[in-house]
Amino acid sequence: MQLHVVYPQEQLLPMTKNESGYFAITLNNVAEGTRYYYQPEEGKDVPDPASHYQPEGVHGPSEVVHHTSFAWEDAGWCGLPFNQLVLYELHVGTFTPEGTFEAIIPRLDYLAEIGVNAIELMPVAQFPGTRNWGYDGVFMYAVQNNYGGPEGLKKLVNACHKKGIAVLLDVVYNHLGPEGNYLGEYGPYFTGKYHTPWGDAINFDGEWSDGVRDFFADNITHWFTHYHIDGLRADAIHEVYDRGAVPFWEYCYHRVQCLQQQLGRPLYMIAESDLNSPRVIKHPEAGGFGFTAQWLDDLHHALYVLLHEEGQKHYIDFGRMQQLAKAYKEGFVHSGEWVQFRNRRHGASSAGIPGSRFVTFSQNHDIAGNRPNGERLSMLVDYKRLQLAAAAVLLGPYVPLLFMGEEFGATTPFFFFADHSDEQLRQSLREGRKKEFEAFQWDAEPPDALDEKVFADCKLNWQQPEAGEHRLLLQWYKALIQLRQTNPLFQNLNKNNIDITVFADAGLAMLRQDDKGWERILCLFNFSDAPVRYTPADDYQCIEKLLDAAEAQWHMNVTDDDAPLTGTAEKGILLPGCSVQVLRVQLAGVK
């Protein structure tokens, strides 16, 4: 093994193998910007698998980064409580016309004005080419070069913290992308013992797996320490296989806990999991993996099928209002029942687990990107249903997540896109996407993910939030988030303080109350086009109307059919079609 320095002065330096099997060399006063390769075999240049920067892409030389040279200005940043976050998922390349970290910074005031206090970046680990969702990353420690590299990411995080905004980052530890994946050149990082949808699994529990585990666990601490990231969202953790006594995720949990004490601020780990298992968010002492929270796909599925008439075609096990009620009250909808999509029983109950352990959404990158035309919810349903979707997420007892542009009903698509140089790989990707879409019974073929125009079409149109229903929807989101962030009842994510009632087949009533039951807010949802009446079991008296989606201020053109409908306590509350009302109530006769 040799070290091949190519800049600023070319050198070929032999490395020494140590007792653990690693090759090492010590150099003094290495300048920032020095570029180099390793040579596992004579004459074969391979980038550093732990490279912190790949300025010339995945096949080019690695570059030395001195992390101490950046002048951080967030010494007073202590993080934010997880249960108070309003997350905003964004893709760096399509969020702005420029597609860089620094181009996001001028938009932070816009996000803060909405009430967003945490951004979640889709993966930024170096991937091949210049456009990709990020889940084909191949250098876990390197920051994508055309996004702005290490310096650009640090500037963004620094700016966010100065404005009171936390930064979370997607990471992928279940596979590496196919192009530029040199990790196998250095050791047994992959195993044929398990298989994932992307090929051989990463070797977390086989022979020589100690170094593999540390390589990925160290990556977690890398983002927290060098980039001041506040939390990580781990992609598809169910495709990480480890049958050891201390599974990989438990191992990471203990590492993060120690680092959290050293840094003196909270560090969050969020899971994407297909298991519907409470073990994911239970502490290791209780037999869990120790994640702070996980994405709650079941709530999205239950909500989406009620909003879009074609929804059940793709989510065949959903479609009943009682399932949305269960998602609010318990979390997992599938908690051990037979699931047709899987042809088996699936899941376990999450009843009793606090709402702060789940992240909910009405859309995200996967949901739009895995449709043939990259349709966002705003391209599938009308304005009133967008209002409903926003309220259903933001008024619920969970940590909400918005997908970039949803707050103004963006009508730019979000396709899957990639940029590979190998022609065989390009053709394989095209064929693979077609097969995926056939499996989900889509009527159309996906566009060519490698077409640069497909990527360009995904860039947000920042003129949209300034006019028409886009502007009104944005104001609706602001009002919902303000209500969530200023009213203590919406900050209380104890699901035991929530009562859910399904009424008139299409209505759902959510009663939020404090621990003593003295303060109460009633959220009423009508998912049908026709008016429905809600008559509470208890004799509630409306004290104050906090929000009403049917009021004229939320609509461009108001007709008599759209006007707010009211009724006495005895007759109940009449809701217009596809509407939401939020009322502060008390029991009749109680002051």
Annotated binding site: 233-238, 297-301, 365-370
Contact 252, 269 (CB under 8 A): yes
- Which residue positions form the known binding site for substrate? 233-238, 297-301, 365-370
Q: Find tokens 């992959």 and name the residue.
A: 190
Tell me how far the alpha carbon of residue 189 is from its chain's centroid.
Answer: 27
User: Strand, coil or helix: what is 88?
Assistant: strand
Task: Return the bridge partners of 512, or none.
Answer: 498, 521
Rounded CA-CA distance 231/169 in Å is 6
Active site residues: 235, 272
Q: Find tokens 């966010």 and name the residue.
A: 160
Rounded CA-CA distance 584/518 in Å is 11
Check whether the bond before 465 is cis (ω within 30° of 0): no
Contact 270, 234 (CB under 8 A): yes
Rounded CA-CA distance 307/528 in Å is 9
- Phi then psi dihedrals of residue 134, to 5 deg: 110, -10
Taking CA atoms, 122 is separated from 310, 502, 572, in Å, by 28, 36, 45
Task: Return the bridge partners of 168, or none.
Answer: 120, 231
Rg, Å, the chain Cα set: 25
Contact 588, 540 (CB under 8 A): yes
DSSP state of 185: G
What residue type is 239 in one-letter code? E
Side-chain-side CA neighbours of 278 within 13 Å: the count stands at: 17
- Phi then psi dihedrals of residue 227, to 5 deg: -120, 5
Contact 25, 13 (CB under 8 A): yes
Contact 253, 247 (CB under 8 A): no
Rounded CA-CA distance 506/326 in Å is 15
Rounded CA-CA distance 528/537 in Å is 22
What residue type is 404 in one-letter code? M
Tokens coding 439: 């499996």
What residue type is 333 in one-letter code? V
Which contiguous run of DSSP H or E holds residue 167?
Answer: strand 166-171
Rounded CA-CA distance 441/435 in Å is 10
SS3 track for 57-72? CCCCCEECCCHHHCCC
Beta strands at 293-295 and 358-360: parallel, antiparallel or unpaired: parallel
Question: How are the residues of the chain apportioned to helix, strand and coil, as percentages rounded to the nearest 5?
Answer: 35, 20, 45
Q: Is 14 exposed, middle or buried (0-12, 13-18, 19+ CB in 10 A)?
A: exposed
| E strand segments, 77-161 | 87-90, 118-121, 125-126, 139-143
